[in-house]
Amino acid sequence: MRDLPEIFDSFSEARRQGFLAMKSLKEQGFGVAGIFCSYVPVELFLAAGVIYVGLCSTSEETIPEAEKTLPRNLCPLIKASYGFAVTDKCPYMYFSDMVVGETTCDGKVKMYEYLGKIKDVHVMELPRTQYKESSRALWLSEIRLLQQKIEQKFNVEISEVKLREAVRKRNRERALLKAVYELSLASPPPMTGLQQLQILYGAQYRFNHEEKVRELEETIKRIKEAYTAGRGPVSEKARRIVITGCPMGGATEKVVRVIEESGGVVVAYENCTGAKQYDRQVAETGDPCEALCDYYLAIGCSVMSPNPNRLELLGRLCAQFAADGVVEMTLQSCHTYAVETQAVRDFLKARNIPFLSLETDYSPGDTAQLKTRAAAFIEML
Ligand code: BJ8
């Protein structure tokens, strides 16, 4: 049986370990689809027996190459995504038979045009608002179009029965990942925010559903056992922080590190690396495509206008996790999140919850500055 540090290490190494697993799956004849965004209904791939994977876009390594084509003042996530594609440095991109994009932010939409010259890119047209009947009709038709595309591309049929089963499986994964982060409801939490992030981020690079479920169940059990035995890594004095903003992982772990080196502990992630993806479940009754439509369209991303669901989730997490403060991380040149910062500030001010907004990119150059700001914020909590 593995010990807890081994389990954390294995999640932290999951993305690299996953390369070999992916190569072997390709050799066995599995189709692979690369995705970028939480709005993509991955249940369609699960139902088709196609492996899906989040594409590498969390390091600065290939940004200089991307900047030969894309403007420098573009979000690092978009530049890194494109850079990994043109340099062939991301094995997941390399192995992807198709890539699914989505019309979230303008920079991504235009980048997909260039990406389409290298890969088979299918772009889903996401509405910018969630509550109009026309938005729902558009998104439902986009989900059905993606289903057709997958069926043609991989020569499979996605029956209603298979889709229902996929919904059930993915719901199981969501529930387990939610159970992982809800361990940090305890005070002090039984894991650091960095450890929690490593599990949430690493789990997406486990491609076998049954193994993933088993590993998550074991992880939850082992964390609980260590905590009950008094082996917790977090001081009782640590200030409890909820993170919001752009997706995290890879280079942006630096934000979590500076918070936790300054006397804070991240207890929950409202962003796409955490609760935004795992808080809710897809309905398991009724037409599965309609259930997917309602679930995905309700994701509270800043590309939606208005975007009340982000604030609803953030407010709920702050209350549940007894947050001492909220730290927002926005990526440079991400206009939708940057504009929404004021709305988040006002929302939290009305609830007397201290708030710090940090803007960053994928380079380590601003770490000292981030540390100074995080330390000053935690000091005043
Ligand atoms: S659902 S957060 S994964 S869009 S950071 S590329 S928005 S300029 S990543 Fe996201 Fe889907 Fe929303 Fe989640 Fe554009 Fe902003 Fe860059 Fe972004």
pLDDT in tens, 300-349: 999 999 999 999 999 999 999 999 999 999 999 999 999 999 999 999 99
Per-residue pLDDT at 75: 96
For residue 107, how far is its CA from the centre of ligand 1 (angstroms)? 10
Q: What is the mean pLDDT of the chain?
A: 95
For residue 200, how far is its CA from the centre of ligand 1 (angstroms)? 17
Integer Cα distance of 335 and 216 in angstroms: 35
Nearest alpha carbon, ligand 1 atom 8:
334
What residue segments make up the domains of the chain, in order of their start? Answer: 17-158
The best mutation among 58, 79, 105, 297 to test binding of ligand 1, ranked by most ligand atoms within 8 Å of the C-beta, falls on 105
The best mutation among 82, 125, 279, 331 to test binding of ligand 1, ranked by most ligand atoms within 8 Å of the C-beta, falls on 331
Classify domain 17-158 by CATH number: 3.40.50.11890
Tell me the three state secondary structure of residue 334: coil
pLDDT in tens, 342-372: 999 999 999 999 999 999 999 999 999 999 9
Atom of ligand 1 nearest to the CA of 331: 5
* φ, ψ for residue 118, nearest 5 deg: -105, -40
For residue 380, how far is its CA from the centre of ligand 1 (angstroms)? 31
For residue 223, how far is its CA from the centre of ligand 1 (angstroms)? 31
8 A C-beta contact, residue 135 and residue 142: no
Nearest alpha carbon, ligand 1 atom 7:
105
Integer Cα distance of 93 and 54 in angstroms: 9
**pLDDT at residue 11 above 90?**
no
Integer Cα distance of 59 and 267 in angstroms: 24
Structure tokens at 155: 């020569």
Integer Cα distance of 148 and 98 in angstroms: 13
pLDDT in tens, 119-134: 999 999 999 999 999 9
Atom of ligand 1 nearest to the CA of 78: 6
CB atoms within 10 A of CB 207: 17
Pocket around ligand 1: residues whose beta carbon is below 6 Å from it?
37-39, 75, 77-78, 104-105, 107-108, 246-247, 272, 299, 301, 303, 331, 334, 336-337
Nearest alpha carbon, ligand 1 atom 15:
334
Per-residue confidence band for 160, with pLDDT thresholds at 50, 70 and 90: very high
Per-residue pLDDT at 19: 84
**pLDDT at residue 204 above 70?**
yes
122-127: list long-range contacts, CB under 8 Å, 24+ apart.
Answer: 122/98, 122/146, 122/149, 124/39, 124/40, 124/100, 126/39, 126/102, 126/303, 127/297
Kind and range of the H or E run holding 243: strand 239-245
**155: which residues sit within 8 A by CB, 6+ positions away?**
none
**183: which residues sit within 8 A by CB, 6+ positions away?**
189, 190, 191, 220, 223, 224, 227
**72: which residues sit within 8 A by CB, 6+ positions away?**
none
pLDDT in tens, 219-275: 999 999 999 998 889 999 999 999 999 999 899 999 999 999 999 999 999 999 999
Per-residue pLDDT at 1: 64
Integer Cα distance of 10 and 16 in angstroms: 10
What value does the CA radius of gyration of the chain take, rounded to a whole number of Å? Answer: 20
**CA 271 distance to own-chain centroid:** 7
Full-prediction pTM beyond 0.85?
A: yes
